[in-house]
Amino acid sequence: MMADLTALELCAGAGGQAIGLEEGGFEHVALVEIETAPCNTLRLNRPAWNVIEADVRAVRGRDFRGIDLLAAGVPCPPFSIAGKRLGRDDDRDLFPEAIRLARESRPAAVILENVPGFGSSRFASYRAELKVELEALNYRVAWQVLQASDFGVSQLRPRFVLVALRPAAFRHFRFPGAAINPMGVGDRLRESMGANGWPGANAWADRARGIAPTIVGGSKKHGGPDLGPTRAKRQWAAMGVDALGIADVPPGIDFPFEKSPRLTVGMVARLQGFPETWQLWGRKTAAYRQVGNAFPPPVAAAVAQAVNTALRAARRAARIPALQKTA
> Catalytic amino acids?
76
User: Could you write out the DSSP letters of every residue in 214-278?
Assistant: PP----TTS-S--S-SHHHHHHHHHTT--TTS-BSS--BTTS-TTSPPPPBHHHHHHHHT--TT-
Contact 288, 230 (CB under 8 A): no
Contact 35, 56 (CB under 8 A): no
Q: Look at strands 5-10 and 26-33 and give their pairing.
A: parallel
Contact 49, 7 (CB under 8 A): no
Residue 158, judged by CB atoms within 10 A of its CB (0-12, 13-18, 19+), counts as middle
Closest CA to 298 of 257, 325, 270: 270
| C-alpha–C-alpha distance, residues 154 and 180, integer Å | 11
| C-alpha–C-alpha distance, residues 192 and 253, integer Å | 13
CA distances from 254 to 197, 201, 259 (A): 9, 12, 11
Residue 248, judged by CB atoms within 10 A of its CB (0-12, 13-18, 19+), counts as exposed
| C-alpha–C-alpha distance, residues 176 and 69, integer Å | 18
Residue 294, judged by CB atoms within 10 A of its CB (0-12, 13-18, 19+), counts as buried
